[in-house]
Structure 1
C-alpha cells in the first residue's frame, strides 16, 4: 500500500495593536504572511510560532483559525524537477508578544503594514486570495481548494 503525501503548512496573520499586519519578503513568493511547513513530530501551534520567529524575529501568541486551504494542483518546485504534492495550509490570526523585526535565510525584508495596504504588496494570486479571506472573515472558517499552475484557479470556495 502507498500512503498519500501531503505537505502540511501553517501561516500567521500577525496583527499588532496599531492595526498593522506583519509581512515578510521571500525569494520565490514575494511578500507573504510568515509561515511554513510543519516538521515531522511537530504540532501546528509550535510550527507556526517557530516559523514566524525564524522568518521575522517576532514572538507570537496564536489566537484563532481563520482558514483551511488546499493547493491540489500538480506542478514542479522552483528547481523545475521536484514534484510538489498537495499542500494543506492552515491560516491563523496571531498577536505579537515580543521579539524584534529581522530577516532570515528565507526572508530579505520584514515589516508591519497597514491592514488595508497589504494587498498592494502581495502579488501571488493564492496568497492574495487567502489574505482576502482574512479581510472578509465573518466568524466562520474559510475553506478554499485551488491550483496555482499553470494558472491560479479556485475550485472550491466556501465557509464552514
Structure 2
C-alpha cells in the first residue's frame, strides 16, 4: 500500500499597530505573505512563528485560523526528478509584537503594506486569491482547492 504524502505549511496575515500587512518579496514568487513549510515534530503555530521570524525578523502573536488551502496539482521538483506532494496550508491572522524588519535568504525585501495595497503588489494569481479570502474573513474558515502551474481554482467552501 502506498501512503499519501502531504506537505503541511502555514502563512500569516500579520498586522502591525497601524493595521498594515506584513509581506516578503520571495526570490521565486515576488511579494507574498510570510510563512512556509512546517518541520517534522513542530506544531503548525510554532512553525508559523518560526517561519515569520526567519523571513522577516518579526515576532508575532497568532490570531484566528481564517483559511485552509489545498494545492492538489501534480508538479515536479524544479529539476524534474520527483513529484511534489499535495500541499495543505493553513492561513492565520496575527499581530506583530516585537522585532525589526530583516531580510533573509528567503526574503529579498520585507515591508508593511496598507490593507488596500497588499493585493496589488502580489504577482502570482494563486497567492492573490489566498490572501483575498484571508482579508475577507467572515467568521467562517475559507477552504480553497486549487492547483498551481497552471493555476486552476477549483472550489471554495466556508466551514
Q: Same-fold call, TM > 0.5?
A: yes
Point out where structure 2 has 5 or more consecutive residues left out of the alignment. none
After TM superposition, give the deviation of residue 82 of structure 1 in Å: 3.7
After TM superposition, give the deviation of residue 135 of structure 1 in Å: 2.2
- 1:104-149 deviations in Å (ceiling 9; x for gaps): 0111100000011011110111110011102221111000100112
- 1:4-55 deviations in Å (ceiling 9; x for gaps): 1000000011011212100001111111100000000000111000000000
After TM superposition, give the deviation of residue 155 of structure 1 in Å: 1.1
SS of the aligned residue for 1:107 comes to: coil
Tell whether 2:31 aligns with 1:31.
yes
For 2:81 and 2:111, how far apart are their aligned partners in 1? 33
After TM superposition, give the deviation of residue 83 of structure 1 in Å: 1.6
- 1:66-88 deviations in Å (ceiling 9; x for gaps): 00000000012333434211000
Matched with 1:93 is 93
Please tell me the root mean square deviation across aligned C-alpha atoms, in Å. Answer: 1.0
For 1:79 and 1:109, how far apart are their aligned partners in 2? 26
Tell whether 2:37 aligns with 1:6.
no
Point out where structure 1 has 5 or more consecutive residues left out of the alignment. none
Give the TM-score of the pair, scaled to structure 1: 0.96
Matched with 2:139 is 139
Q: CA 1:67–1:82 in structure 2 vs 1: closer, same or farther (change >3 Å)? A: same
For 2:106 and 2:135, how far apart are their aligned partners in 1? 26
Higher mean Cα deviation, 128-137 or 108-117? Answer: 128-137
Matched with 1:156 is 155
